[in-house]
Amino acid sequence: MPSIAIIGAQWGDEGKGKVTDYLCENADVVVRFQGGANAGHTVVAGTRTFKLHLMPSGVIRGATSVLAEGMVIDLDTLWEEIQTLRSAGLDPTGRLKISDRAHLVLPHHKKLDAGGGMIGTTARGIGPAYADRSARIGIRAGDLRSDTAILDRIAALWNAHPDQVRDVGWDASAIPDVFQTWRARFAPYLADTGRLIRGALKEGSRVLFEGAQGVLLDLSAGTYPYVTSSYTTAAGVAVGAGIPPNLIGNVFGVSKAYTTRVGQGPFPTELQNELGDRVRAAGNEYGTTTGRPRRCGWLDAVALRYACDLNGFSGLVLTKLDVLTGIHPLHIATEYRIDGARIAAFPADHEALSRVTVTYTTAEGWQEDLSGVRRFENLPPAARRYLDLVAALSGTPLAAVSVGAHRDQTLAVRPIW
Ligand code: IMP
């Protein structure tokens, strides 16, 4: 099967952008299928660092880059990314395809989401945009093609929440000027991207589906309500990209060698102490999108097993192993208990998750700097044992390990494509 999916196995920020960039060398098409500018992918290419929010990471390698129909797109942010890429000599024109079915993030969505609320969102308008989509009053990228469609959709929005629409200076009788700008800028990129991807797969092209956020932020499977508003699991690929599920090939989960979380919500293995601060500093754990310090903690194999079960991962890519250098002993969560009783599964109830006590297994740490290691076999024995333990506890074989932000700091364990 010429397609693979890369899925975040934790609460996002696992290093999917770097992993995608590494795998893109062999990809013809790279697809973002959910989320929007809440994502933040940092890709280091030689001496250049790119921080992308909407554009698939593959755009830097020259792959056809698709923003598929499961996304909510902030066209102003996308325009900034196009300009950044152009000035770096990587003009995506001709390779960038935007689904005409994707929804737009509109000014009132961002206003409603400002400040992040009690969920601690990224304030990019994601939840309100998906809410309008589900309420069937959203505006889709394809609507930019027609004045009638835009007027019709604005009238629908106006009927549903006139105060919000009035508040951003729009009314139901005229097309706001910004639509002319968006049309001029983006009409050339609009496409039936589902058809394009299905056609590419039929012809044997290699397609990479690049997940954003992570399993525990999935609207359905995650730690609701402290989740994002899209489907971040492998199951989301089919609906979000517009392909039949049987065209999704191998699915790889990306996890850090420890755990981080931004925003509110339960986090059983969180280290609210000096060790947590040390991991944050060593791993530079600050949000790409919001700059917020990330909460840091031990690797949680209970949550990881849940992610593996839900997604059927063919393999795990473990990132940021280098950050754990010098910490001894290392801990990995193996079991949750509530009121002394072991719980068999990752709980649906966030209140229960916030009350669990965690049982840990320990592993020997290592002192060696890993950033110069270029082959898996050359990792120190203690690091190899830690990785073996992660694979055993998650029931999933390792596919690759990452020991730094650069492309050559990814150590292959088995072939991925
Ligand atoms: P939203 O996606 O902006 O609505 O935020 C909902 C929750 O998901 C918040 O806890 C955010 O911090 C979290 N979140 C959204 N996108 C990301 C991401 O790319 N990485 C990590 N956390 C994210």
> For 246-272, how does the pLDDT look when each residue is reduced to its tens digit (9 = 90+)?
999 999 999 999 999 998 999 999 999
Could you say which of 21, 28, 41, 108 is catalytic? 41
Q: Which residue is closest in CA terms to ligand 1's atom 15?
A: 38
13: annotated active-site residue: yes
Structural domains of the chain, with CATH: 102-187 (1.10.300.10), 256-412 (3.90.170.10)
21: annotated active-site residue: no
Would the pLDDT of 30 be above 90? yes
Would the pLDDT of 281 be above 90? yes
Query: pLDDT band at 1, cuts 50/70/90?
Result: low
% of residues, the chain, pLDDT over 70: 100
Identify the pLDDT of residue 344.
86
Identify the pLDDT of residue 42.
81
Question: Measured from the CB, is residue 214 less than 6 Å from ligand 1?
Answer: no
- How many angstroms is it from 211 CA to the middle of ligand 1? 13
Residue 124 CA, closest ligand 1 atom number = 3
Question: Measured from the CB, is residue 104 less than 6 Å from ligand 1?
Answer: no
Question: Measured from the CB, is residue 262 less than 6 Å from ligand 1?
Answer: yes
Question: Measured from the CB, is residue 269 less than 6 Å from ligand 1?
Answer: no
Pocket probe for ligand 1: among 14, 38, 77, 112, the residue whose CB has the most ligand atoms within 8 Å is 38
Q: Which of 291, 189, 253, 293 is nearest to 396 (CA)?
A: 253
Q: Which of 2, 16, 11 is nearest to 253 (CA)?
A: 16
At which residue do the structure tokens 């068999």 appear?
344
Identify the pLDDT of residue 24.
86
Mean pLDDT score, 381-394 = 98
Residue 121 CA, closest ligand 1 atom number = 5
- How many angstroms is it from 38 CA to the middle of ligand 1? 6
- Give the integer Cα–Cα distance in Å for 126 and 324: 33
Residue 35 CA, closest ligand 1 atom number = 2
The model's pLDDT over 66-80, given as tens digits with 9 standing for 90+, comes to 999 999 999 999 999
Residue 126 CA, closest ligand 1 atom number = 4
The model's pLDDT over 180-237, given as tens digits with 9 standing for 90+, comes to 999 999 999 999 999 999 999 999 999 999 999 999 999 999 999 999 999 999 999 9
Would the pLDDT of 337 be above 70? yes
Q: Which residue is closest in CA terms to ligand 1's atom 12?
A: 263
Mean pLDDT score, 59-67 = 93
**pTM of this structure:** 0.96
Mean pLDDT score, 165-175 = 90
Question: Measured from the CB, is residue 217 less than 6 Å from ligand 1?
Answer: yes
Would the pLDDT of 60 be above 70? yes
